[in-house]
Amino acid sequence: MNTYYYPRPTPQDVLIKERDWNQINTSYSAFEILNGILMMLMYATICKSVKNTDRTIFKMIVAGFIGQL
């Protein structure tokens, strides 16, 4: 006879799909939101100073925000 420290999962428990970490913790504090906006604003200001177009700046910010960089 085996003694387990926790109950063995039943077939019903195995069918439950766990949520991803990003789906569980989707709330950001006001400081984190403001910090992200300020970083985007700093990047846009630097790009404007070297004569990049607004469209190019927008594409780069979006690419960085969704993780394509």
In this predicted model, what pLDDT tens digit does every residue of 13-67 receive, in sequence order? 555 565 555 555 567 778 888 888 998 899 999 999 999 999 999 998 888 877 6
The single residue listed with the structure tokens 């999962």 is: 9
Pairwise CA distance, residues 55 & 39, whole Å? 18
Domain ranges of the chain: 11-65
Q: What is the pLDDT of residue 47?
A: 92
Model pTM above 0.85: no
